[in-house]
Amino acid sequence: MASKITIISLILLTAILFIAAPLFAIEPKPISDSELNQLLENVEKNFSKVKTLRTQLIQEKNISLFSETITSTGLCIFKSPNKLRLDFIKPFKSSLIINNNQIFKYEFFNGSWQKLNTGNEEMMLLIMENITSWLQGRFKNPDLYKIRAFKNEKVSVLLTPKADEFKKFVSSFELGLNRGMNGLDYIIINETKNNYTKIQFHNDEINKEIPDIIFEGSNDKPHSVPQW
């Protein structure tokens, strides 16, 4: 009899937990148009104070053909208004640089650096230029995106491309704002066929001196980045 009561109790407890679980899940609430306009003004004002940024990053790339997420670590270096460098350190070494509308790509292979063709340079440049704009708090581009925002514990901004040509590569971008509303916690690039890339930022250093030379791309290898 005791064992039956125990089994029934476990079943009831499992049912209660299953039913109650959604009560604890807080869905992000959409922000109204009037709130959105005010949010965008405040964000751009706050972000404009960031002239340079050095931050570590973790990139998670999910490809639907594979069961595991590919995780990479590295760093992001930004200098206003249009210099950006993404370096990946593990599990491979590579560098992607944008400098005044020029883009450079390097990869460390067989013990040495190689300068690579960027592939679809127009699309790559567009995405890198967008990241540069976002790091300055400039999210609103009505010609390019439909924009919405959601609020839970933090605020996220969703940008949906309008151009069909753009939609072939990216279905949307999600930008997560930090608690201070003066920087990004993450960027999610939702690609086609359920593929996505998430870049999380942490250990930010703001408005430190950054030499222009690290954004130059004329050499066969990227200039080394000073430690911090």
Q: Where are the domains of the chain?
A: 29-215
Is there a contact between 183 and 53 (Cβ–Cβ < 8 Å)? Answer: yes
> Which residues are bridge partners to 114 per DSSP?
107
Query: CA Rg, the chain, in Å?
Result: 22
Please, which residues have CB within 8 angstroms of residue 112's CB and are 6 or more apart in sequence? 221
CA–CA dist 40, 161 (Å, integer): 18
The pLDDT of residue 19: 30
Q: Which two tokens stand for residue 195?
A: 């593929």
Cα–Cα nearest to 183, from 210, 154, 212, 159: 154
pLDDT of residue 20: 33
User: Residue 37: helix, strand or coil by DSSP?
Assistant: helix
Sheet hosting strand 29-30, strand order edge to edge: 29-30, 145-151, 155-161, 170-177, 184-191, 196-206, 52-62, 70-79, 83-90, 94-99, 102-109, 112-116
- Is pLDDT of 37 > 80? yes
User: Per CATH, is 29-215 categorized as 3.40.50.10140?
Assistant: no
> Which pLDDT score is estimated for 132?
92
**What are the pLDDT digits (tens) for 45-74?**
999 999 999 999 999 999 887 777 899 999
pLDDT tens digits for range 105-155: 999 999 999 999 876 777 788 888 889 999 999 998 888 899 999 998 899
pTM: 0.80
